[in-house]
Chains A and B, each alone.
Chain A
Amino acid sequence: NAGVTQTPKFQVLKTGQSMTLQCAQDMNHEYMSWYRQDPGMGLRLIHYSVGAGITDQGEVPNGYNVSRSTTEDFPLRLLSAAPSQTSVYFCASSPDSSGNTIYFGEGSWLTVV
């Protein structure tokens, strides 16, 4: 049981490039989400999904796309990277009902130059 797995761990992008952060969980969790954490700040919700085929926007969705074709995978796509998207990205999952423990992946450090 690996939990929540994110790849890559580190990435440097040039402005305008696109890329996908991968996230997979093996706990059969219905709920998955992506957060970003800027230096010295708390986590902010980008997008989330309550089940396969269903996604919705969080607090800071602009510049990002997501899809949820399977229960296990929830990739985050940066469409045209900007320096403002330099951040640490955390994927998370939890069982479907409210008030359950949320499990975070180890994080992906992204730098846009």
Chain B
Amino acid sequence: GENVEQHPSTLSVQEGDSAVIKCTYSDSASNYFPWYKQELGKRPQLIIDIRSNVGEKKDQRIAVTLNKTAKHFSLHITETQPEDSAVYFCAVEAAGNKLTFGGGTRVLVKP
């Protein structure tokens, strides 16, 4: 089955700096790559996603890049704010809408 590795597991940044989280996956047939933000005690919320026919997607301060050849994709958060503090999960979808999640990155934005 699909194997998804996410790094780093924790990330501490100063407010206003950028944060980058990287995920690698194993199944070259995977075609959908969402990122979720999860606040303590809450459900995961989709923040951005990318499909295999696109290399980069941006939504305000958040961007995702995908390298299908190398089988990795990354989340970039610019101008970080305290409300960006949360756990972020990458996920990879193979056939049939079956998502495999990475282990998560705990992001702390220090004011």
Interface of A: prevailing SS: loop
- The proximity string for A residues 72-113 relative to B, scoring 1 for CB distances below 8 Å and 0 otherwise, is 000000000000000000100010001111101111000000
- Give the segment of B11-19, B61-69, B77-85, B91-99 that binds chain A: B91-99
Which of these, A41, A102, A106, A107, contacts B46 with CB under 8 Å? A102
| A40 within 8 A of partner (CB) | yes
Whether the Cβ atoms of A48 and B32 lie closer than 8 Å is no
Q: Which residues of B contact A41 (CB under 8 A)?
A: 103-104
- B interface list, Cβ under 8 A from A: 1, 6, 31-32, 34, 42-46, 49, 51, 89, 93, 95-104
**Would you call B32 and A99 a contact (CB within 8 A)?**
yes
With both beta carbons as reference points, the residue of chain B lying nearest to A44 in the complex is identified as: B101
Chain A contact-residue range equals 20 to 34
List chain A residues, Cβ under 8 A from B32. 98-99
Residues A99 and B104 in contact in the complex (CB < 8 Å), given A43-B89, A90-B44, A104-B43: no
> What are some 11 contacts across the A-B interface (CB < 8 A)?
A42-B89, A42-B104, A43-B89, A43-B101, A90-B43, A90-B44, A98-B32, A98-B95, A98-B97, A99-B51, A106-B43
**Is A58's beta carbon under 8 Å from chain B?**
yes
In the complex formed, the residue of B with least CB distance to A102 is B99
Tell me which residues across on chain A come within 8 A of B31, comparing CB atoms: 98-99
The distance in angstroms between the C-alpha atoms of A57 and B49, with both chains bound, is 25
Q: Which residues of B contact A42 (CB under 8 A)?
A: 6, 89, 101-104
* A45 close to B93 (CB less than 8 A): no
| A103: nearest chain-B partner, CB-CB | B46
- The CA-CA distance from A45 to B2 in the complex, in Å, is 12
Q: B1: which of A50, A59, A101 is its contact (CB, 8 Å)?
A: A59
CA distance A101 to B47 in the complex (A): 10
Contact partner, A48, options B49, B89, B98, Cβ 8 Å: B98
